Amino acid sequence: MTSEGVRPAAVLVEGEKIRAVVSVEKVPAGAQIQDFGDAAILPGLVDSHVHINDPGRAEWEGFETATRAAAAGGYTMLVDMPLNCIPSTSDVAALEAKRAAARGKCRVDWAAWGSVVADNQDHVEALAGAGVLGFKCFLIHPGTDEFTMVTERELRAALPHVVRTGLPLLVHAELAGPIEVATAALGGADWRSYATYLQSRPDEAELSAIRLLLTLCREYRFRLHIVHLATWQALDELRAARAEGLPVSVETCPHYLHFTTEAIADGATLCKCAPPIRSRENRENLWQGLRDGVIDLVATDHSPCPPSMKQLETGNFKTAWGGIASLSVALPVMWTEASRRGFTLRDIARWMAERPSRLAGCGASKGRIAAGCDADLVIFEPEAEFTVTPDRLHYRHAISAYMGEKLRGVVKATYLRGKRVFADEKFQGNSIGREYQP
């Protein structure tokens, strides 16, 4: 699986790097050979949207468990979101605390996004200098209190700093206004019903946020990245913004491409996330957005929590934690859905490795099988099938919205910088993952 597409090929690895991709006949004499038969060799996936929650909330997840789930899922690099950990990554001291939490615990490589919060404008450029790959902000309350949302005024105060760093700003694009109006109109609705939750977070919340962001992008020319787009209704405006030359990129997540409102049972709070999973028609239109190239990439938004916070007993969508954990199964979920719609592994590699890597500025060494890149490789059996069971999840709490589903494609092995870190359902060797160094 190379940039030219899928073909029988040999990947020549020297130390931590890929030296070349050659036809099988051109493998040098004397090379040590590993034959993966009919399995596909994919670039190690890069997840540009993960909540590792460490330090401070390692009981939700942590570097050890998140990177273990990543290795099992075919990911070789994670970029950690700056919230849900304590402290949130809003200044250099917090970034150093994160580095201390990660040291010696990682099975794959990682890097950090910094935050843009209500009052850290003066830390933005220092964070860039200290090694974050970009920034994340929320236009709505993020669900925890350590991380503050930004108003338009606060965002405007931060944007000149963001522009000077040249790094992307990743935005949770929902505005509170339409959500408050919709929620007030619900009155005494039953919050065990998924329909109630869906109605409380209308498409309009995403649309109005995206319109505001495009206006600001036009004004300040910062690199705008819309995280976890859940409504197809924004696609036309995003396409037009791109045509206009605005530096905007768009991500969606496996859960928006797999689940639909119609299939979510009342009380099934494992499927709660924000923005919400929408209708079947919406899902198919998001797939069309990927096909058309308006949506650039797929990231997991892996956002785990202790089982009690999902409130599985009451099934209350209002109070349950919003977040779906999927690092270990995202690749087979995507392959199951994508192959059904005529996409290829080349598409998967582009959406889940090459483009997230480029977003994070790691494109020269991560996310591609090409000479000079890190030898991050996934051996993937596209025809094999398996059923999601707790022992396959590997993150801290073995709960999953995907439990019991039969999925297509099995990760046989994962290589990080030339070393095998996962094979045949077992972790291999030491925790050699490290922070990505540009």
- Residue 197 C-beta: closest distance to Zn ion, Å: 17
Nearer to Zn ion among residue 137 and residue 378 (C-beta): 137
Nearer to Zn ion among residue 91 and residue 301 (C-beta): 301
Contact 374, 365 (CB under 8 A): yes
How far does Cα 325 stand from its chain's mean position?
A: 10
Contact 167, 361 (CB under 8 A): yes
Sheet of strand 426-427, all strands in order from the earlier edge strand to the far edge: 40-43, 377-387, 406-416, 419-423, 426-427
- Residue 329 C-beta: closest distance to Zn ion, Å: 17
Q: What is the C-alpha separation between 317 and 196, in angstroms, rounded? A: 8
Nearer to Zn ion among residue 47 and residue 109 (C-beta): 47
Residues contacting Zn ion: total by CB under 5 A: 1
Q: Which amino acid is at 285?
A: N
Q: How many residues does the chain have?
A: 438
| Rounded alpha-carbon distances, angstroms, from residue 327 to 50, 61, 160 | 8, 12, 34
Q: Which one of residues 64, 301, 347, 376 is an interface residue with Zn ion (CB under 5 A)?
A: 301
Which span sits near Zn ion by CB under 5 A: 95-103, 254-262, 294-302, 358-366? 294-302
Which span sits near Zn ion by CB under 5 A: 118-126, 239-247, 278-286, 300-308? 300-308
- Residue 396 C-beta: closest distance to Zn ion, Å: 17
Nearer to Zn ion among residue 40 and residue 69 (C-beta): 69
Which span sits near Zn ion by CB under 5 A: 16-24, 40-48, 298-306, 365-373? 298-306
Phi, psi of 134 (to 5 degrees): 165, -170
Nearer to Zn ion among residue 106 and residue 325 (C-beta): 325
- Residue 68 C-beta: closest distance to Zn ion, Å: 20
Nearer to Zn ion among residue 47 and residue 301 (C-beta): 301
Residue 438, judged by CB atoms within 10 A of its CB (0-12, 13-18, 19+), counts as: exposed
Nearer to Zn ion among residue 42 and residue 116 (C-beta): 116
Q: What is the C-alpha separation between 296 and 289, in angstroms, rounded? A: 9
Phi, psi of 274 (to 5 degrees): -135, 130
**Residue 87, preceding peptide bond in cis (omega within 30° of 0):** yes
Contact 313, 320 (CB under 8 A): no
Which span sits near Zn ion by CB under 5 A: 138-146, 197-205, 295-303, 334-342? 295-303
- Residue 299 C-beta: closest distance to Zn ion, Å: 9
Nearer to Zn ion among residue 264 and residue 324 (C-beta): 324
Q: Which pair of structure tokens corresponds to residue 56?
A: 């401070």
Q: What is the C-alpha separation between 234 and 219, in angstroms, rounded? A: 20
- Residue 195 C-beta: closest distance to Zn ion, Å: 24
- Residue 325 C-beta: closest distance to Zn ion, Å: 11
Q: Which pair of structure tokens corresponds to residue 342?
A: 């005529």
- Give the contact letters, 248-287, x = binds to Zn ion (CB under 5 A), - = no: ----------------------------------------
- Residue 115 C-beta: closest distance to Zn ion, Å: 12
Sequence-ordered list of residues with C-beta below 8 angstroms from that of 126, at least 6 positions apart, any chain: 91, 92
Q: What is the DSSP letter of 317?
A: T
- Span 332-351, contacts to Zn ion by CB under 5 A: none
Which span sits near Zn ion by CB under 5 A: 194-202, 280-288, 299-307, 361-369? 299-307
Nearer to Zn ion among residue 301 and residue 354 (C-beta): 301
Q: What is the C-alpha separation between 434 and 72, in angstroms, rounded? A: 17
- 374 is a contact residue toward Zn ion (CB under 5 A): no
Residue 167: its H or E element: none
Nearer to Zn ion among residue 80 and residue 301 (C-beta): 301
Nearer to Zn ion among residue 301 and residue 347 (C-beta): 301
In the block, which residue shows the tokens 């970034």? 95
- Span 12-31, contacts to Zn ion by CB under 5 A: none
Contact 168, 225 (CB under 8 A): yes
Phi, psi of 385 (to 5 degrees): -130, 155
- Residue 189 C-beta: closest distance to Zn ion, Å: 26
Which span sits near Zn ion by CB under 5 A: 71-79, 175-183, 296-304, 339-347? 296-304
- Residue 274 C-beta: closest distance to Zn ion, Å: 9
Which residue, judged by CB position, is nearest to Zn ion in the bound state?
Answer: 301
Q: What is the contact surface with Zn ion in residues (CB under 5 A)?
A: 301
